[in-house]
Amino acid sequence: MSTIAENIANIRARMNEAAKKAGRDPSEILLCAATKMNDADRVKEAVAAGVDCCGENRVQEIQEKRPQGAYEGKPLHFIGHLQTNKVKYIIDKVDCIQSVDSVKLAKEISRLAEKIGRKMPVLIEVNIGGEESKGGIEKAALPALLEEIAVLPGIQVNGLMAIPPICAEKSALCNYFSQMHQSFIDIRAKKIDNVFMNCLSMGMSSDYAEAIECGATMVRIGSSLFGPRDYTR
């Protein structure tokens, strides 16, 4: 079985290949280790092997692993669905919240961030495939949401995040990724106060090469990095 470090080296090589294929600088693309269901020691291995940041899906896992030093030395992003009443548990523990999909959630993040004297970087999650089973806002609702939350004093909008539908054809998958990239570029061109399109977070274990070819600046890799998750635990 490959080690975590070997898996990261292979992922980096594939990331570089995809970037060069698209005429991009590989150093522009960040590798986020999706650490869900991996214990603190395994997360530490990923950090030591050179991931750019860690992404956690569950508040409870942050509460368990952070005191053990799991993420030490790398930024910690929250990448899962976040309930408004759980914001208080992570507001002083994460470096970015990637899954903002409502004004209500943004307002609570801003309120609690202000209380501790910080401005929380956030990404807006877009439900690019319009799937009922996934979080995120509809693409058409993105401009209105940005207008409402850009004025909040305790957050800074740093980009967009998306999880496209599972696609049998690469062309269909790339269409979703390209739509996200176009929205990213269009919003950046508007130069909205407190909205900075620095990060386009898209692409996971099964499709990160395609995401990079279509303009992703961050990919979130779990099973290809750590191995298959054991959902029976």
Confidence of residue 2 (pLDDT cuts 50, 70, 90): confident
Residue 230 has pLDDT above 80, yes or no: no
Q: Which pLDDT does position 133 carry in this prediction?
A: 85
Smallest CA-to-CA distance from 99 within 62, 127, 61, 68 is with 127
Confidence of residue 15 (pLDDT cuts 50, 70, 90): very high
> In three state form, how does the secondary structure of 163-231 look?
CCCCCCCHHHHHHHHHHHHHHHHHHHHHCCCCEEEEEEECCCCCCHHHHHHCCCCEEEECHHHHCCCCC
pLDDT tens per residue, range 97-139: 999 999 999 999 999 999 999 999 999 999 999 898 888 999 9
Residue 231 has pLDDT above 70, yes or no: no
pLDDT tens per residue, range 32-46: 999 999 999 999 999
Q: Which pLDDT does position 232 carry in this prediction?
A: 60
Total residue length of the chain: 233
Q: Which pLDDT does position 221 carry in this prediction?
A: 98
CB 199 within 8 A of CB 220: no
Residue 166 has pLDDT above 80, yes or no: yes
Q: Residues with Cβ < 8 Å from 34, sequence gap 6 or more?
A: 55, 57, 79, 204, 220, 221, 222, 225
Q: What are the tokens at 150?
A: 């850009």
CB 224 within 8 A of CB 183: no
For range 9-17, the mean pLDDT: 98
Q: Which pLDDT does position 132 carry in this prediction?
A: 87
Q: Which pLDDT does position 228 carry in this prediction?
A: 85
pLDDT tens per residue, range 181-223: 999 999 999 999 999 999 999 999 999 999 999 999 999 999 9
pLDDT tens per residue, range 77-102: 999 999 999 999 999 999 999 999 99
What gap in Å lies between CA 168 and CA 170, rounded to an integer? 7
Smallest CA-to-CA distance from 186 within 139, 128, 150, 218 is with 139
Q: What are the tokens at 216?
A: 């992703």
Burial class of 134 by CB neighbour count within 10 A (0 to 12, 13 to 18, 19+): middle
